[in-house]
C-alpha cells in the first residue's frame, strides 16, 4: 500500500503489570548475576500475576479513550492486534470489548488480527483501508502476555520477554496533517519453524498431548532468525523506500520491534543509524511481542520524543517468518 491515506492517532494508552528487575529474576531462577543485561539487554520487564490479556487490553483502551476525551459510543470498530488470547473461543477482541466500561451498551464490531509481532502494523494498515463515513474512529489494542509460556530453563527467552498492553485510537484526518505514507508486509515461509509454541493447537491438542514444558513453551532459534533477517531485511527495506520521497537515514524517528539486543544492534549497523533516530525500550520492557512496537511508539509520544509532523517508520520481524514496515506522518 503506497498512498497518503489520511489517518490520525488521537488517543494513546498503555497498561503495565508488575515490574520484574533482572537482578531479582536471576536470583529466583539461579541465573548468574548480570546475565540478562549482558545477553538479552533487558534490565527489567513487566509480568502479570492474575491479570489477563482482556483485563490489560481494556485498561489500556480506557486510557486511550480518556486521553482523547472519546466516549466509547463513538468507537466504530475495535481491533485486537496480538498473538495472546485468554480463550481459544471467543475471539480476543470480544473479550476486551466486554471489559471496557459501557462498551456492552454498543454493538460495534470487534475483530482479531494476529500476525504475531507485526500485528499492530497489520491492524493499522487495515484500519486505514476500511476507514470511511461509517467507520470513522477505530480502537486498536495490542495486549500481550508472554510470561505464561516461558521455559525457566531457557534463559534466552526467560530473560527476554515481557507483558504489556497498548491501545491507540485512529480516525480519519480531514486536515490531512497526519497520514499513512506506505505499508508493506511480506512472509518468508522458509522461516516458518524458527519460532513456535508447538503444542496446544489442532495438530497437537491437549487431549492427546498433555502439558509438556518443551512442547507448550515458546521456542526460538535466535541465531537462525538473525541470519535470515540479515539476508532479507536489506532487500525488503530497499524495495520499501523505492518510489517514495524518503530514505531510511533521513527519517525523524524509527520504531523497530524490540526483538533482541543483537537484532537491534545489527539493524542500526546495517544502515549506520544513530541512537537519536532509532528508539529502543528493550532494556526497560523486554520483547512484548505485538505490543513492543506500539509501546515504544506511545512511550516516545508521552515523553515528547515524537512530535506532530514527524515522519516515523514502524518496522520489524515476526514469527512466520515475516517482515513489515509502516511509514507514517504523525
Q: Distance between CA 291 and CA 83 in Å, rounded?
A: 10
Q: What is the mean pLDDT of residues 287-292?
A: 96
Handedness of CA 244, 245, 249, 255 (dihedral sign): negative
Q: What is the pLDDT of residue 2?
A: 55
Task: Give the pLDDT confidence of 82-140 residue by residue, as tens digits.
Answer: 999 999 899 999 999 999 999 999 999 999 999 999 999 999 999 999 998 789 999 99
Domains of the chain in sequence order: 5-176 (3.40.47.10), 180-329 (3.40.47.10)
Task: Give the pLDDT confidence of 115-128 residue by residue, as tens digits.
Answer: 999 999 999 999 99
Q: What is the pLDDT of residue 216?
A: 73
Question: Is the pLDDT score of 297 beyond 90?
Answer: yes
Q: What is the pLDDT of residue 3?
A: 67
Residue 220 φ then ψ, to 5°: -140, 130
Tell me: cis bond preceding 314? Omega within 30 of 0 counts.
Answer: no
Task: Give the pLDDT confidence of 38-55 residue by residue, as tens digits.
Answer: 999 999 999 999 999 999
Q: What is the pLDDT of residue 119?
A: 97
User: Could you tell me the pTM of the whole model?
Assistant: 0.93
Q: What is the pLDDT of residue 206?
A: 77
Q: Distance between CA 330 and CA 325 in Å, rounded?
A: 15
Amino acid at each position: 500500500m503506497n498512498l497518503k491515506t489520511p489517518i490520525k492517532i488521537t488517543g494513546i494508552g498503555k497498561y503495565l503489570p508488575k515490574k520484574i528487575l533482572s537482578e531479582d529474576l536471576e536470583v529466583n531462577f539461579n541465573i548468574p548475576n548480570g546475565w540478562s543485561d549482558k545477553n538479552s539487554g533487558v534490565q527489567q520487564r513487566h509480568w502479570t500475576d492474575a491479570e489477563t490479556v482482556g483485563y490489560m487490553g481494556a485498561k489500556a483502551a480506557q486510557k486511550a479513550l480518556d486521553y482523547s476525551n472519546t466516549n466509547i459510543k463513538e468507537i466504530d470498530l475495535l481491533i485486537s492486534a496480538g498473538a495472546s488470547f485468554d480463550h481459544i473461543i471467543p475471539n480476543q477482541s470480544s473479550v476486551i470489548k466486554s471489559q471496557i466500561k459501557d462498551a456492552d451498551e454498543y454493538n460495534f464490531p470487534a475483530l482479531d488480527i494476529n500476525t504475531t509481532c507485526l500485528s499492530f502494523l497489520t491492524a493499522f494498515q487495515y484500519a486505514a483501508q476500511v476507514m470511511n463515513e461509517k467507520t470513522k474512529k477505530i480502537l486498536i489494542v495490542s495486549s500481550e502476555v508472554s510470561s505464561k509460556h516461558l521455559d525457566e530453563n531457557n534463559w534466552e527467552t526467560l530473560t527476554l520477554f515481557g507483558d504489556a498492553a497498548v491501545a491507540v485510537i485512529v480516525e480519519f484526518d480531514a486536515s490531512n496533517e497526519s497520514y499513512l505514507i506506505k505499508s508493506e508486509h511480506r512472509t518468508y515461509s522458509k522461516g516458518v519453524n524458527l519460532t513456535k509454541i508447538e503444542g496446544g493447537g489442532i495438530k497437537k491438542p491437549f487431549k492427546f498431548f498433555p502439558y509438556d514444558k518443551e512442547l507448550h513453551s515458546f521456542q526460538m532459534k535466535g541465531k537462525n532468525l538473525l541470519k535470515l533477517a540479515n539476508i532479507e531485511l536489506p532487500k525488503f527495506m530497499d524495495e520499501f523506500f523505492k518510489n517514495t520521497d524518503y530514505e531510511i537515514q533521513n527519517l525523524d524517528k524509527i520504531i523497530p520491534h524490540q526483538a533482541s539486543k543483537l537484532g537491534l544492534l545489527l539493524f542500526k549497523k546495517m544502515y549506520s543509524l544513530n541512537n537519536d533516530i532509532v528508539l529502543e525500550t528493550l532494556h526497560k520492557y523486554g520483547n512484548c511481542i505485538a505490543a513492543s512496537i506500539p509501546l515504544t511508539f506511545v512511550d516516545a509520544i508521552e515523553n515528547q520524543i515524537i512530535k506532530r509532523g514527524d515522519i516515523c517508520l514502524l518496522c520489524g520481524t515476526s514469527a512466520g517468518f515475516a517482515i513489515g514496515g509502516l511509514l507514517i506522518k504523525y
